[in-house]
């Protein structure tokens, strides 16, 4: 089994275990009763300056433990203060040490859109995201059949959310566009390679495939200001940053630096 398939199977199994305790009907009711999702497409729209989605990331398969993050809400408030346009919360438990409780705490603390970043392949997970207050959900093209991608994208839309449709090649960008994605991510990290290879130039090579009118998000591999600048020069409207913000001890200053490109 590929690493991505393994991560997805783990997240789906964990969601299925939660479903034993909280039925799909109950989660759907909570999702429909939730405060309406923020309009992420409006808030992440292309602007004169680059925008940043700042990530709450405790650990990862490639880097192990990154930061304890005992108070994800406080970290998210720092991100908002530093100028982030949205917050990404890794809710995967097994390798990233996240949870839906993290997402709920972040949602209650900030007024910008919140992304549920997880390995999602079922309707239940999308409903859970909305019930927890997510405005954006991650759909990874490589983890889903085209039919499933279309179904989950449609469900996210029906619930008022935006899907960040993540790709790693031109073919995957075409698949994202085919389902009507308006927010397309290009992840520099190869989620299927054993060592999670980072290709910092991938975004620049494939960005032109994403047409005007669709928001372009460059994901991963930002450690320095110059990495943000390179993505911006290559056409990124939005850059998603995790590790650099959770490890340097002063996320507000780092965000201000990154946003100054
Ligand atoms: O971060 C990992 O090691 C990883 C491994 C396998 C699947 C996904 C993984 N990360 C999720 C992400 O895409 C990143 O957290 C996100 O883009 C931020 O990346 P970075 O700024 O490089 O921490």
What does the pLDDT read at residue 135? Answer: 99
What does the pLDDT read at residue 102? Answer: 98
Where residue 180 sits, what CATH number does that domain have?
A: 3.20.20.70
> What's the domain range around 217?
3-258
Q: How far apart are the CA of 195 and the centre of ligand 1, in A?
A: 12
What does the pLDDT read at residue 248? Answer: 87
Residue pLDDT tens, the chain, 261 long: 789 999 999 999 999 999 999 999 999 999 999 999 999 999 999 999 999 999 999 999 999 999 999 999 999 999 999 999 999 999 999 999 999 999 999 999 999 999 999 999 999 999 999 999 999 999 999 999 999 999 999 999 999 999 999 999 999 999 999 999 999 999 999 988 888 899 999 999 999 999 999 999 999 999 999 999 999 999 999 999 999 999 989 999 999 999 999
Within 8 A by CB and 6+ apart from 220, the residues are 187, 188, 189, 198, 240, 242
Answer yes or no: 16 catalytic.
no
Show the tokens assigned to 29: 């009711």
Instruction: Indicate whether residue 91 lines ligand 1 (CB < 6 A).
Output: no
Answer yes or no: 24 catalytic.
no
What does the pLDDT read at residue 167? Answer: 98
Tally the domains of the chain: 1
What does the pLDDT read at residue 205? Answer: 98
ipTM, two decimals: 0.98
What does the pLDDT read at residue 77? Answer: 98
Q: Give this prediction's pTM.
A: 0.98
Which residues face 234 on adjacent strands? none
What does the pLDDT read at residue 192? Answer: 82
Instruction: Indicate whether residue 166 lines ligand 1 (CB < 6 A).
Output: no
Within 8 A by CB and 6+ apart from 165, the residues are 139, 141, 149, 153, 176, 179, 181, 183, 184, 185
What does the pLDDT read at residue 119? Answer: 98
Which of 113, 67, 61 lies closest to 250 in space, CA to CA? 67
Catalytic residue among 117, 128, 172, 243: 117
Using CA atoms, how far apart are residues 171 and 168, in angstroms rounded to an integer?
8
Pocket test for ligand 1, best of 220, 224, 230 (most atoms within 8 A of CB): 220
The position carrying tokens 């998000």 is: 217
Burial class (CB in 10 A: 0-12, 13-18, 19+), 20: exposed
């Amino acid at each position: 089994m590929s690493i991505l398939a393994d991560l997805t199977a783990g997240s789906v199994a964990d969601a299925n275990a939660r479903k034993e305790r909280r039925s799909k009907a109950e989660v759907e009711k909570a999702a429909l009763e939730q405060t309406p999702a923020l309009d992420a497409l409006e808030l992440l729209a292309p602007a004169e300056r680059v925008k940043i989605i700042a990530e709450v990331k405790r650990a990862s398969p490639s880097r192990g433990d990154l930061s304890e993050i005992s108070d994800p809400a406080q970290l998210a408030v720092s991100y908002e203060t530093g100028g982030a346009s949205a917050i990404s919360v890794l809710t995967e438990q097994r390798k990233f040490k996240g949870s839906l409780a993290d997402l709920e705490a972040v949602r209650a603390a900030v007024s910008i859109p919140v992304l549920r970043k997880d390995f999602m392949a079922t309707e239940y997970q999308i409903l859970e995201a909305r019930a927890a207050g997510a405005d954006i959900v991650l759909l990874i093209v490589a983890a889903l059949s085209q039919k499933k991608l279309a179904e989950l994208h449609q469900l996210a839309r029906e619930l008022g959310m935006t899907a960040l449709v993540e790709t790693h090649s031109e073919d995957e960008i075409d698949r994202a566009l085919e389902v009507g994605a308006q927010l397309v991510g290009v992840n520099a990290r190869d989620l299927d390679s054993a060592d999670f290879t980072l290709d910092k130039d991938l975004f620049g090579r494939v960005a032109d495939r994403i047409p005007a009118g669709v928001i372009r998000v460059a994901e991963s591999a930002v450690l320095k200001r110059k990495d943000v600048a390179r993505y911006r020069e290559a056409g990124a409207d939005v850059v998603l940053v995790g590790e650099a913000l959770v490890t340097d001890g002063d996320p507000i200053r780092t965000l201000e630096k990154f946003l100054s490109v």
